[in-house]
């Protein structure tokens, strides 16, 4: 009874205070609209349960749990910034997963396990740039990184991203003086990784969305010195990437095609900007066609002998292997371009202690979310243009 009286008095006092507030300064209470009967995250979950249960089989329940759990991040070091913070990362138990494996070759167990043609490709492993460093916490440790702080020049010390997203950049194998095209560059994590190599002769960054391009520029200005963002070595554009073949064909030594996709983890966790929103159904269904157009444009933009890395952040077989298979066929059929699939298994084998890789793909490699190593999903396939 006493609690009820106290509550009544409290309500009266609040009303008295409101009556003393001028009407112009009063804030009218607003009630949010009721939650949609079928929110995008729920629709995404239903779609994945049907699609990936068939695709992944007994593996799907564990992958599903990982996707719905807190993801792990990596800290991509910024070599244009003061490196005094590296000791702090070491003291927290972090290690650079790239440097740990950079000097090690594939072991004999792998050579026996894989086919002869794969073993022969071990000599052509991508050169792991000593300038790309990405720190991660040990397996099973989901400790969060602290926000990066700017140095004396105002540049941030590291960029937080899914550590598996660095793998396509490593697989691209950028050498000194290469001309590189990042066809879908925003928001900028992979672009920063490419710039860390400090080997690129010219870098073209494109994204069809003007707003995303603006975000890309902000990221670059937060991490890269202004003198290195000159138009002589770097260009930022906002063109339709599918039409790039008509803009600069046979031009680039390396092309990264990190296409828009269903972004599985985001689709399961965030209703905002979710591709499974009902109003975006048509856009979602057109994704494989868009991805194919972007990959073909990247293939034509590469010069003969150049290499292309196609990547997504989805588990979808249709958006991954399906798109690559069609691109290989249509490149020959429509453009007279012969492509060779570069086997990345010796490359990904080096990082098996950090990431959990799918074991049954016949084209490309895929990082599969796993509770002990909750990175990804990241799919990548490397193509070499022969003609």
Of 66, 80, 43, 18, which is closest to residue 276 (Cα–Cα)?
43
207-245 per-position pLDDT tens digit: 999 999 999 999 999 999 988 887 678 999 999 999 999
43-56 per-position pLDDT tens digit: 999 999 999 999 99
Domain residues for the domain of 307 are: 40-385
- Structural domain contains residue 28: no
Range with the poorest average pLDDT among 112-121, 166-175, 322-331: 112-121
- Structural domain contains residue 215: yes
- Structural domain contains residue 369: yes
CA angle, 122 as apex, 168 and 162 as ends, to 5°? 20
- Structural domain contains residue 29: no
Range with the poorest average pLDDT among 7-21, 62-76, 143-157: 7-21
Q: Give me the mean pLDDT over the 133-140 stretch.
A: 95
- Structural domain contains residue 107: yes
**Which residue would you say has higher pLDDT here, 85 or 125?**
85
Q: Give me the mean pLDDT over the 160-175 stretch.
A: 97
* Measured CA distances, 144 to 71, 155, 192, 319, 378 (Å): 10, 21, 21, 31, 20
Which CATH number characterizes residue 372's domain? 3.40.50.150
93-133 per-position pLDDT tens digit: 999 999 876 545 444 344 434 444 433 344 356 778 889 99
Count of structural domains, the chain: 1
- Structural domain contains residue 340: yes
Give percent of the chain above pLDDT 70: 84
> 41 phi and psi, to 5 degrees?
-65, -35
- Structural domain contains residue 33: no
Taken in order 95, 99, 104, 107, the sign of the CA dihedral is positive
Residue 34's pLDDT band (cuts 50, 70, 90):
low
Beta carbons of 77 and 155 less than 8 angstroms apart: no
End-to-end Cα separation, the chain, in angstroms: 87
Q: 94, 169, 184, 313: which one is catalytic?
A: 313
- Structural domain contains residue 8: no
> 231 phi and psi, to 5 degrees?
-65, -15
From the number of C-beta atoms within 10 Å of its C-beta (0-12, 13-18, 19+), residue 355 rates as buried
Residue 7's pLDDT band (cuts 50, 70, 90):
low
Q: What is residue 124's predicted lDDT score, i.e. its pLDDT? A: 56
For the chain, give the mean pLDDT.
Answer: 88
313 assigned to active site: yes
CA angle, 153 as apex, 149 and 155 as ends, to 5°? 45
> CA 274 from chain center: how many Å?
16
Range with the poorest average pLDDT among 11-15, 321-325, 341-345, 365-369: 11-15
Q: Give me the mean pLDDT over the 170-198 stretch.
A: 96
Range with the poorest average pLDDT among 25-29, 82-86, 227-231, 244-248: 25-29
């Amino acid at each position: 009874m006493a609690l009820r009286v106290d509550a009544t008095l409290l309500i009266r006092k609040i009303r008295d205070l409101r009556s003393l507030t001028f009407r112009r300064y009063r804030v009218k209470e607003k009630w949010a609209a009721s939650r949609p009967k079928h929110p995008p995250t729920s629709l995404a979950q239903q779609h994945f349960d049907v699609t990936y249960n068939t695709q992944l089989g007994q593996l799907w329940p564990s992958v599903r749990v990982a996707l719905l759990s807190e993801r792990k991040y990596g800290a991509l070091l910024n070599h244009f910034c003061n490196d005094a913070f590296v000791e702090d990362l070491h003291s927290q138990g972090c290690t650079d997963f790239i440097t740990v494996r950079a000097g090690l070759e594939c072991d004999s167990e792998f050579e026996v396990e894989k086919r002869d043609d794969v073993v022969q490709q071990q000599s052509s492993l991508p050169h792991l740039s000593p300038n790309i460093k990405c720190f991660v916490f040990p397996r099973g440790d989901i400790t969060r990184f602290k926000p990066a702080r700017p140095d004396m020049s105002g540049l941030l010390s590291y960029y937080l991203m899914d550590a598996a997203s660095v793998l396509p950049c490593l697989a691209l194998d950028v050498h000194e003086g290469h001309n590189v095209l990042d066809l879908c560059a925003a928001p900028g994590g992979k672009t920063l990784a490419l710039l860390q190599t400090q080997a690129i002769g010219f870098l073209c960054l494109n994204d069809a969305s003007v707003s995303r391009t603006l975000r890309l520029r902000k990221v670059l200005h937060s991490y890269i010195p202004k003198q290195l963002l000159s138009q002589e070595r770097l260009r930022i554009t906002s063109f339709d990437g599918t039409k790039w073949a008509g803009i600069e064909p046979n031009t680039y030594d390396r092309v990264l095609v990190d296409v828009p996709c269903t972004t599985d983890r985001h689709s399961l966790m965030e209703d905002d900007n979710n591709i499974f929103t009902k109003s975006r159904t048509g856009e979602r269904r057109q994704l494989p066609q868009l991805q194919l157009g972007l990959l073909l444009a990247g293939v034509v933009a590469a010069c003969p002998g150049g290499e292309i890395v196609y990547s997504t952040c989805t588990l979808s077989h249709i958006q991954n292997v399906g798109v690559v298979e069609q691109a290989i066929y249509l490149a020959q059929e429509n453009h007279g371009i012969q492509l060779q699939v570069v086997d990345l298994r010796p490359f990904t084998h080096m990082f098996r202690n950090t990431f959990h890789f799918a074991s049954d793909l016949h084209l490309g490699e895929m990082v599969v979310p796993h509770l002990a190593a909750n990175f990804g999903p990241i799919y990548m396939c490397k193509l070499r243009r022969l003609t």
